[in-house]
Structures are given as structure tokens and as C-alpha cells.
Amino acid sequence: MTEKKHFWNEYQKEIADDNYFYERSCIRQSFFPGSETAFLNILRNELGLTIIDDPNQHTCTGIGYHSDVVPFDTTMTICARLFSLMTDKELTNFVPSCVTSFGIFTEVIETWAQFPEELEKTRQFLRKATGREFKVPENIAHPSDIIYKYRKELKKKMKYQLVNCHTGKPLKVVEHIGCHYAKIFSKHSVGGAEFPQVLAGMIEEWGGQVIDYPERRHCCGFGFRQYLVMANRGYSVANTKKKFESMEPYKPDFVLTNCPGCTMFMDRWQYTIAEMEGKTYDEQQMGIPVLTYEELTGLLLGYNPWDLGFQVHQVQVEPLLDKLGIKYDLKDKFTGVTGKYLGEPEKPEYLKVCYE
């Protein structure tokens, strides 16, 4: 184990200290808006850092690019416009909220480094289309990189640890870093694709136990066009199923994810498999909760679970909250921003939930 830890030290990346430009994620802000809110609050309020959320930003085109309806020239120039927004703010540290976007931005910058004529072409495209200029970011960090960097400082502020309050034992956690975080350019990730540490480092620092299981590095199954088109979704669910079958014997308390797409798929496909096959991968027929790293950080800091957004997860988190010793108000769970009670969702037929 010591030798292994020494080995991944070679895969450390430089993560900027402060002054970030935040690029929101289409998937994270749609499916887990509370995670993006929590991340900004953690950086600003817990760590006292500066991060800019520019209203002029837009998609990086990543989902369109990887499903091949957006050409690479277009994607490079769209990225360049986002970099111009960063440049306008006199910032140089770019923080994309999505693992797909992280892969896109690193691919674009690596292409420009290797083929300078592509950078010049992109500059001309952007100038012609918008009159804008841009600087290439000096540092690209995924938000989880920043949480990882400051994991020890955050631990000092945390009210809870990843310990089962009933048994005193560390919670067992499966982590999933997402393919495009480390598989495209390992050098831009913490720990690389072989010994991923970005989430494992948080789990271990905060008292949990990382589960190493055979399909740890397997894709969640998004597959872009393999999910976007209904006819192809068998591919997507089959991949998630493979992962859950592999992790089941280790009885994880929850799954921690890096990529918002992976979070959503590993949550929703558990519901689908339960309804189609009458199968869950836990013993209580409730499924295994899937958390974003922002949600986990917020929970341990003592944030209200329903302000973090756990009510929009299909697999219920209450059993995990109970293990952590976190109190919650079920009446607050389905309440909107105006304080209005919104009623309860319908119940699945097989998967058990914590509402009537």
C-alpha cells in the first residue's frame, strides 16, 4: 500500500490557489443545481476564495461534440469565447463544473499546444464571429480538484465524519471519477486513471474507507448518443448494471461521483433496474445512494440536506443520513423556494422510498 501511494505521487497536478472563473455544467445545473450552489458557497463562505459566476456563459457544446453533431472547429471556438469571458474578468484560472467539459477544455488546450495553427485558426474564427480576443487559461481545475486541495482545511470546519454513528466504523464508499476526468489526459487529474485520488483523498481524509472493486474504472454508461437516443439506452443501463453487480458484494454505504452525468445515471438506472427486474444492490430494497462531492462536502459541513438537493435524487439518502447521525426534517423535503408544500412524487412500484 505504501508503495502504491508513493507511485501516485507522480500524478499530482497543479491546482490554482484562488481567483477562479466558474463555467457551469449543463447537466449539473439541471439535475443537481444544489451542488453548484453548494460549491460556490463552500469556496466563498468556508474558504474565503474568489470565484466568478458570469451570466454571459453558455454550454461548452460537450454533449453535442461527443455525440458528433458539433464539429471540432465549432467546439474550439465556443471554448475560446468562454475563455474570452474569463479574460474580460482578468482571470487565468478556469474551473469547469462538468467532467465532460473538463475533458473538452483540456482537449482543446492540448490541441492548441501541439498544433499552434489550430490556435491561430480559432482566434481568427472568434474574431470574425464576435470581435473577441482571449488568453488561454494558465490553470484548469475541476471543482473536485479544489475541494481535494482544501480537504484538510474543510475537515476542520466539518460537523460530521464519514463514520457510522451506530457502530463507530468508517463508512464504505465507492468512488467514481468519470471517464473524461482522467482517461483522456491523465496528467491533468489527481492520481491519474490508474490510482484516482481526487475523490479517494476526500473520503480517506474525512474518515471513510474507499472500496476498491473490479469494475471501479468502468464507464457509468452515458455513452452520449447511446443515452440521448431512446433506442440505444440498453447500452447505458447495461454499463451501470455491470458496475453495481461488481460493487454489490462489498456492501458500500454510498457512491461518491465526480461527474454530474455519472451521478444521474448511477442514481436513475438503479431505479430502472429495480422496476424492470425487481433487483436492488443493497439489502433494504432502497438502492445505494449516489452523491456528488459537493453534496457530501456540504453534508459534512452541516448544511441542510434539502438545501443541497437530496430531494431530487431517486435513490433516497435518509438511510445514509441516519448512519451519519444527521438530523433532517421530512416536512421540509418537498417544500419549494416560496415555502409552499409541493406535494409528494409518485412512488415507484419496487424501489422503496422515504415518502408515503
Partner 1 sequence: MKYYDLLMHDVRFKEASTACMNCGVCTAICPAAEFYKYDPRQIMNIVQSRDDKKIEDLLRSETIWYCGQCMSCKTRCPRGNVPAMVISVLRRFSQELGFFIVSEKGRQQFAVKRTVGDNIINTGYCVHVDHVSPKLHPEQGPIWKWYVENAEEVADRLGANYNKYGAGALRKISKENLDEVKKIFDVTGGSKLYEDIEQYSAEKAKSLKMSIDKEGLNNEYFFHTYIENSNNHQK
CB closer to partner 1, 14 vs 73:
73
Find the part of the chain contacting partner 1 (CB under 8 A) among 43-51, 118-126, 140-148, 196-204: 118-126
Compute CA distances 125 → 122, 203, 335, whole Å. 5, 44, 47
Q: How far is the CB of 209 from partner 1 (least distance, A)?
A: 26
Write the interaction track for partner 1 spanning residues 205-234; mark x where CB under 8 A is met and - where it is not: ------------xxx-xxxxxx-xxxxxxx
Please give, one letter per residue, the 3-state secondary structure of the chain: CHHHHHHHHHHCCCCCCCCEEEECCHHHHHHCHHHHHHHHHHHHHHCCCCEEECCCCCCCCHHHHHCCCCCHHHHHHHHHHHHHHHHHCCCCEEEECCHHHHHHHHHHHHHHHHCHHHHHHHHHHHHHHHCCCCCCCCEECCHHHHHHHCHHHHHHHCCCCCECCCCCCECEEEEECCHHHHCCCHHHCCCCCCCCCHHHHHHHHCCCEECCCCCCCCCCCCCCHHHHCHHHHHHHHHHHHHHHHHHHHHCCCEEEECCHHHHHHHHHHHHHHHHHHCCCCCCCCCCCCEEEHHHHHHHHHCCCHHHHCHHHCCCCCHHHHHHHCCCCCHHHHCECCCCCECCCCCCCCCCCCCCC
Q: Work out whether 104 is an interface residue with partner 1 (CB under 8 A).
A: no
Find the part of the chain contacting partner 1 (CB under 8 A) among 9-17, 164-172, 181-189, 201-209: 181-189
Q: How far is the CB of 259 from partner 1 (least distance, A)?
A: 11
CB closer to partner 1, 217 vs 279:
217
Write the interaction track for partner 1 spanning residues 139-178; mark x where CB under 8 A is met and - where it is not: ----------------------------------------
Residues 335-354 that bind partner 1 (CB under 8 A): 335-338, 340, 342-348
Q: Which of 13, 23, 77, 99 binds partner 1 (CB under 8 A)?
A: 77
208 contacts 173 by C-beta, under 8 angstroms = yes
Q: How far is the CB of 218 from partner 1 (least distance, A)?
A: 7
CB closer to partner 1, 143 vs 223:
223
Q: Work out whether 180 is an interface residue with partner 1 (CB under 8 A).
A: yes
Write the interaction track for partner 1 spanning residues 42-71; mark x where CB under 8 A is met and - where it is not: -----------xxxxxxx-xxxx-xxxxxx
Give the whole-angstrom CA distance, residue 163 versus residue 260.
Answer: 25
A 10 A CB-CB count for 9 gives: 10
Residues 289-318 that bind partner 1 (CB under 8 A): 306-309, 311-314
Write the interaction track for partner 1 spanning residues 2-41; mark x where CB under 8 A is met and - where it is not: ----------------------x-xx-xx--xx-xxx--x
Find the part of the chain contacting partner 1 (CB under 8 A) among 110-118, 137-145, 149-157, 320-328: 110-118
Q: Work out whether 133 is an interface residue with partner 1 (CB under 8 A).
A: no
Q: How far is the CB of 29 from partner 1 (least distance, A)?
A: 4
Q: Please count the residues of this chain forming the interface with partner 1, following the rule CB under 8 A.
A: 98
CB closer to partner 1, 168 vs 339:
339
Residue position matching grid coordinates 476526500: 202
Find the part of the chain contacting partner 1 (CB under 8 A) among 6-14, 140-148, 183-191, 277-285: 183-191
Q: Which of 198, 237, 259, 321 binds partner 1 (CB under 8 A)?
A: 237
